[in-house]
Chains A and B, each alone.
Chain A
Amino acid sequence: MSVRARLEAGPFDPSAELANLIEAASSDGAVVSFVGVARPQSEDGANLDRLVLEHHPRLTLKSLEDIAVEAAERFDVSQVRVVHRCGEIAAGEPIVFAAAASPHRRAAFEAADYLMDRLKTEAVFWKREEGPAGANWIEPTEADYADRGRWE
């Protein structure tokens, strides 16, 4: 079992993260990964230049670690990975890499789904979209909280 969570202040390469995970999971039968990308447009269609993720100096990384550990405990997985950006993220850049490996595919799919539902509502970040029309704070939606509730 290997569980790793990382906070990145600069761009990261999801394909390298996936390659490392596949190598580490050579005795497993399944690897599932999710990559979240900064959108070029807001929900109401306004153009965006960047997403800004403010973080907490002590609690943000801990929240990522706690979510990753709880995914590992809950599902029959051998590997769990979370890489999450903070700071300024240009539209089109990856924000998050969440992945799991397991002997059989179902556990890896479920673990990745669970990781993202928890990250959306519990990872300690404050998210602001910025574009030519101004800035807007983004908070979890009712749908995000409902998705999180599926695992209770």
Chain B
Amino acid sequence: MKIHFYGRLAESVGRDIEVDVPESCSVADLRELLATEYPRAANALGHRVRALVGDMIVADSHIVRPGDSVEFFPPVSGG
């Protein structure tokens, strides 16, 4: 599965990575898996980081599919 990071997450993990996910993997499971594989990003994957699939924000209970591309958004800020 392709994972894309923005902001400080891209700095600590890399902009694009690929991970193998088990069947019936939720976004919460994916966060845990990423925190295990990238300990430096564990704190950065906290509750204010949103997950997007297909440009839509999804809940932690959302089940991701192997062909999905998932994006992780740290808090956004303009102005």
B10 neighbours in A (Cβ, 8 Å):
54
B55: which of A53, A58, A119, A126 is its contact (CB, 8 Å)? Answer: A58
In contact, B77 and A120 (Cβ under 8 angstroms): yes
Which residue of chain B has its CB nearest to the CB of A84? B78
Cβ < 8 Å to B, chain A residues 101-121: 116, 119-121
In contact, B55 and A59 (Cβ under 8 angstroms): yes
A137: which of B8, B78, B79 is its contact (CB, 8 Å)? Answer: B8
In contact, A138 and B79 (Cβ under 8 angstroms): no
Q: Count the B residues whose beta carbon is within 8 Å of the partner chain — how many? A: 14
B6: which of A56, A95, A139, A140 is its contact (CB, 8 Å)? Answer: A56
Contacts A56-B6, A59-B55, A137-B7 given; does A126 touch B77 at CB 8 Å: yes
A139: which of B11, B55, B74 is its contact (CB, 8 Å)? Answer: B74
Question: Is A10 located at the chain interface by the 8 A CB criterion?
Answer: no
B76 neighbours in A (Cβ, 8 Å):
63, 121-126, 140
Proximity string of chain A (123-146) to chain B, C-beta cutoff 8 Å, 1 when within and 0 when not:
111111000000001111000100
Proximity string of chain A (74-96) to chain B, C-beta cutoff 8 Å, 1 when within and 0 when not:
00000000001000000000011
Question: Is B75 located at the chain interface by the 8 A CB criterion?
Answer: yes
Question: Is A36 located at the chain interface by the 8 A CB criterion?
Answer: yes
Shortest beta-carbon distance from A74 to chain B in Å: 18
In contact, B7 and A126 (Cβ under 8 angstroms): yes
Complexed CA–CA distance, A62 and B11 (Å): 25
* A contacts, CB < 8 Å to B: 36, 53-54, 56, 58-59, 63-64, 84, 95-96, 98, 116, 119-128, 137-140, 144
Could you list 7 examples of A-B contacts with CB < 8 Å?
A122-B78, A123-B77, A123-B78, A123-B79, A127-B77, A139-B48, A140-B77
